Amino acid sequence: MLKVKNLHQYYGGSHILRDVNIQAEVGKVTVLLGRNGVGKTTLLKSLMGLVPIKSGSVQWQGVDIAKKTPYERARSGIGYVPQGREIFSRLTVEDNLRMGLSYCSARSKIPAELFELFPVLKQMLHRRGGDLSGGQQQQLAIARALAPQPRILILDEPTEGIQPSIIKDIGRVIRMLADRGLNGEPVAILLCEQYYDFAEELADHYVVMERGEVIASGPGSEMQAKNVRSLVAI
């Protein structure tokens, strides 16, 4: 389980994250919701160590990782799919996937299960990442994060700019990963998402942020009854 307690973060003199408390459990999809600019991406970057936190704790599997480097967090079993995908456009699909295994043994192979999840990647294995469509690049970014078989996957806006058919595929993959992972072991999912219907359909638990604070949370089954949509509507 990932547990974030009393997390504060600043940019210069601006208080960006204010006493944030969230958790993400193995086998569950936790969705992080909120309007643009409320601190969601900053929170995810803080969890990965890409930006420092001022105070608070980030615990993963009972260990405080708040002072660990991004690569140490990755090695501890945390996978991250950043907003905008950030694939290596000049590298082939295969090389992008191998980058996900960069801290593993040189003998490590790309898990065959990735090509079962995303068949198009096998078809385009030797094509450059930059030549793929936006939806295919998003699938590649998710597969790259899954290559070392993490125990938690953090996704930042995976449906942004993606065609509906691929959104459905990504939703199916997220649900499957939470239920049984790549190798029969469930994965924790922390999903930051603007597409409300997609988030509600997948959510086992929801968290809503506003102005750097958590203003609502609860079981995903209660999102309609609590009118969570109104909290994030533009």
Token pair recorded at residue 153: 């996957």
pLDDT for the residue 104? 78
CA distance 50 to 113: 29
pLDDT for the residue 65? 96
- At 51 the three-state DSSP class reads coil
Q: Which amino acid is at 151?
A: R
Residue 9 CA: distances (Å) to CA of 63, 188, 234: 20, 24, 25
CATH number of 2-189+201-212: 3.40.50.300
Contacting residues for 170 by C-beta, under 8 A, at least 6 apart: 138, 139, 142, 158, 159, 162
- At 125 the three-state DSSP class reads coil
pLDDT for the residue 209? 97
CA distance 17 to 34: 13
pLDDT for the residue 13? 81
Per-residue tens of pLDDT for the chain, all 234 residues: 999 999 999 988 889 999 999 999 999 999 999 999 899 999 999 999 999 899 999 999 999 999 999 999 999 999 999 998 899 999 999 999 999 998 877 778 999 999 999 999 999 999 999 999 999 999 999 999 999 999 999 999 999 989 998 999 999 999 999 999 998 999 999 999 989 999 999 999 999 999 999 999 999 999 999 999 999 986
10, exposed or middle or buried, with CB in 10 Å at 0-12, 13-18, 19+? Answer: middle
Pair 149, 186: CB distance under 8 Å: no
Output the CA torsion sign for 31, 33, 36, 39: negative
pLDDT for the residue 62? 93
